[in-house]
Structure 1
């Protein structure tokens, strides 16, 4: 059994890779940095295949897609985990930053899933899982472009799930709240949404468990933690309620952010 994980060198990607390795999968690890793949490989039970690929590069993505028709044609599991978030007001982001979100968070996973689909359909088996985010359910200020990319990915998964279910192929999204990774540390220290810190901060291993649940069950959406999803889905259904309540929510979030940074040993200023 073969499983491919994008963004494998990051916190969630590494945890998912270790969980799949423990299940006995032969791994294909994808990341833009060879060093992070080498470091992860040293923690696994068996030697993985390592692919250096920059998912913001359309050329790199197309080369990887072609491999789904050759040496990766027998892939059983595709985990689209790679993602990027650069917090800030839209007017202050560069055009390059806008494109980066759309390429990595939206276009690349769509292209990879489309490329993997024919082989899985032919075998009437396989699973594709994307790490989305509660940012794909509720959009907040200073995360607008991130949410735009994740809203788009959620919409794609919903339609693709319906298309492939009759073919025996599972399509799922995992929706984490805040996760204790370098990406969250960057957000906490560089103006990311303090609303990340209202609820419990999850571990990368928690999200790996949610990913395994998605693989096993084929559920369209798996939330971690489920409690945070209830609030996000409520406000996602009534987005006009967010702005009036935002000052109160931000006070709670800032309190949680400072507590998180203190636990991690970072300065809150």
Structure 2
């Protein structure tokens, strides 16, 4: 049982129509919260909001890379609710394109979505958070915010920066009545991870079987139950990557070993997706099967 009282809390989740975001919204709503489901895809956000238990939920489409739209987003939240009890910065994106061939525009977009937009959203949410009695900010970072993922350096850059920023924000806002912390999951079985797998993305993520969105939800709830700067869905993995970072100059020797294990793990994951009817091979290439 959670010690945190969700009843009548106004809880906004960015990336709310995705695998982790929708699972968070369902958990919050089941506890009696009123959820603001924010997603780039407004139709999907509406579907998620319509499926939530309880009442008082809102679905809002918003490109979080567009500051004017983010400002309008919080104006709408203010008009409807007058406060915000919990902001969950959950939006994120990645690309399987390698650094030396991807466009500069795609680099800028990924940094904006993963790093800049959570900071802007948190800043713009401050007046609404201050109107709440027990304001919280929870940010989904990644173990990629601790350990460099060589095949996805822009994702790594954004998550390293996000982790550091949220640690600092947590220290700064604590004395101002807003508790901020982050969850740092490893690979999670969502559509984003499935797309990365079929695209031949970052094999380092597949050292172990991907966790489920429910595991991330449990870490978020634990952070609400017991406020702290960071929580890890898989503490053992977090200790391993933190230990590895004590000797970063050894990474060139260690990464081939990690990569070999990760490639085997990714092959198993793709085979599992095939068995689940979520991926298939066409002319020797993997592709996702769109869910109905």
TM-score (norm 2): 0.86
SS at match of 1:173: strand
Distance 2:15 2:140 in 1: 10
Asked if residue 224 in structure 1 is aligned to residue 233 in structure 2, the reply is: yes
Could you tell me whether the CA contact under 8 Å between 2:209 and 2:269 is conserved in 1? no
Asked if residue 125 in structure 1 is aligned to residue 116 in structure 2, the reply is: no
Q: Which runs of 5+ in 1 are unaligned?
A: none
Cα offsets for 1:44-64 (capped at 9, x unmatched): 113411111011223322322
Asked if residue 137 in structure 1 is aligned to residue 112 in structure 2, the reply is: no
Distance 2:45 2:77 in 1: 20
Aligned to 1:50: 59
Aligned to 2:181: 172
SS at match of 1:8: coil
SS at match of 1:24: coil
SS at match of 1:79: strand
Aligned to 1:36: 44
Superposition deviation, residue 219 in structure 1:
1.3
Aligned to 1:160: 169
| Runs of 4+ with deviation above 6 angstroms | none
Superposition deviation, residue 267 in structure 1:
4.8
Asked if residue 111 in structure 1 is aligned to residue 113 in structure 2, the reply is: no
Aligned to 1:234: 243
Could you tell me whether the CA contact under 8 Å between 2:20 and 2:213 is conserved in 1? yes
Distance 1:238 1:121 in 2: 42
Higher relative contact order (CA 8 A, sep 6+): 1
Distance 2:216 2:203 in 1: 20
Aligned to 1:3: 11
Give the alignment partner of residue 219 of structure 2, picking from 202, 206, 210.
210
Higher helix share: 1
TM-score (norm 1): 0.93
Please give the root-mean-square deviation of Cα atoms over the aligned residues, in Å: 1.8
Could you tell me whether the CA contact under 8 Å between 1:66 and 1:115 is conserved in 2? no
Distance 2:82 2:145 in 1: 30
Superposition deviation, residue 83 in structure 1:
0.5
Aligned to 1:248: 257
Asked if residue 61 in structure 1 is aligned to residue 95 in structure 2, the reply is: no
Distance 1:253 1:45, change over 3 A: same
Aligned to 1:21: 29
Could you tell me whether the CA contact under 8 Å between 1:98 and 1:145 is conserved in 2? yes
